Amino acid sequence: MYNLKRTPFLRNKPKGFTLIEIMISLVISIILIGATYQVFINQNKSYIIQEEIVEMQQTLRGALVILERDIRLAGYDPQEANKDNPNTYAITTATDISFGFTADINENGDSPAANIPSPGETEIFLYELYDPVVYQGSTVYSLTRTPPPPLGVRRAIGMNIEDLRFAYSYDADTNGNIDRSAGNNIIWAYPNLGTNTWFSIDDNDDGVIDQADTPGGVDTGTPFNLADIRAVRVWILVRADKPDSDYINSTTYVVGSNHFTPPANDHFRRVLLDITVKCRNMGM
């Protein structure tokens, strides 16, 4: 007789995911995807910001390199010792917003006006802001290096420049030393054409040009003479090309004689740099 054994019924069947488990998984997945996307957005925005800052810095450095190279040539006249040479190469313009000079670049002793066959060979230089462009309440300019028309063609050496300022150290008593203040600091000033005197932009005499100083400077009472200039200090403020809606710029920038504060709710980033260049051919 056969002994038949009954096979037990498999009651523990494999289970699938419940609706609650699926919903929980979906929520976790959405959170992870959202977090990953937010990280990507933040990194991309940080990259764009850094790219803008680098671009502004490159604009400034490129312009300042040209300015530094050229300003050193101000008044360059290798034939000055020749008393038969009637032409004088010197600083021709010096204000807080522009600077100009002549230099005998080709060393032929001719007058500067006779040496403008091309912009690359000109011996007349003038630096100033030109061609204003207004965008979202902010005005930017091109920094031009030119002999102005009709002598030559304006050529931009910097774009998106919001402010440009010059200041000068000088030897008014012609004793061979740059004039210093009562606090023994170099006097950085610009000629005020209304009074024909130097206006010092470090009026608190602490050796630092900052917000503690009076905007526009203070009259020193010293008569100015272009031939007394011995060094030039240049400030350039550049603005980003595009605004950032998440950024509000309320910084006050001390750009030489000017204290620049952006308009209310301004969303542009800015970079400010300055250099000091000795005029090696002045006072010789």
pLDDT of residue 4: 53
Contact in structure between 236 and 166 (CB atoms under 8 Å): no
Reported residue count of the chain is 284
The rounded distance, in Å, linking the Cα atoms of 268 and 284 is: 45
Taking the model in full, what pTM does it have?
0.81
Q: 5-58, pLDDT tens digit by residue? A: 555 555 555 566 787 878 888 888 888 888 887 777 777 677 677 788 888 888
pLDDT of residue 178: 94
Q: 145-160, pLDDT tens digit by residue? A: 876 555 567 888 999 9
Q: How sure is the predictor about 85, in pLDDT bands with cuts at 50, 70 and 90?
A: low
> Which tokens hold the place of 209?
């040009």
> Per-residue pLDDT for 118 more than 70?
no
Spell out the residues 6+ positions from residue 124 whose beta carbon is closer than 8 angstroms to its own: 92, 100, 102, 112, 113, 116, 147, 151, 152
Of the listed ranges 107-111, 155-159, 213-217, 252-256, the one predicted with least confidence: 107-111
Q: 220-238, pLDDT tens digit by residue? A: 999 999 999 999 999 999 9
Q: Is the peptide bond before 150 cis (omega within 30 degrees of 0)?
A: yes
Q: How sure is the predictor about 83, in pLDDT bands with cuts at 50, 70 and 90?
A: very low
pLDDT of residue 147: 67
pLDDT of residue 20: 83
> Per-residue pLDDT for 90 more than 70?
yes
Q: 245-281, pLDDT tens digit by residue? A: 889 999 999 999 999 999 888 999 999 999 999 998 8
The residue with greater pLDDT, 116 or 207, is 207
The rounded distance, in Å, linking the Cα atoms of 127 and 94 is: 10
The residue among 284, 283, 281 whose CA lies nearest residue 104 is 281
Largest CA distance in the chain: 145
> Which tokens hold the place of 239?
């603005």
The rounded distance, in Å, linking the Cα atoms of 273 and 65 is: 12
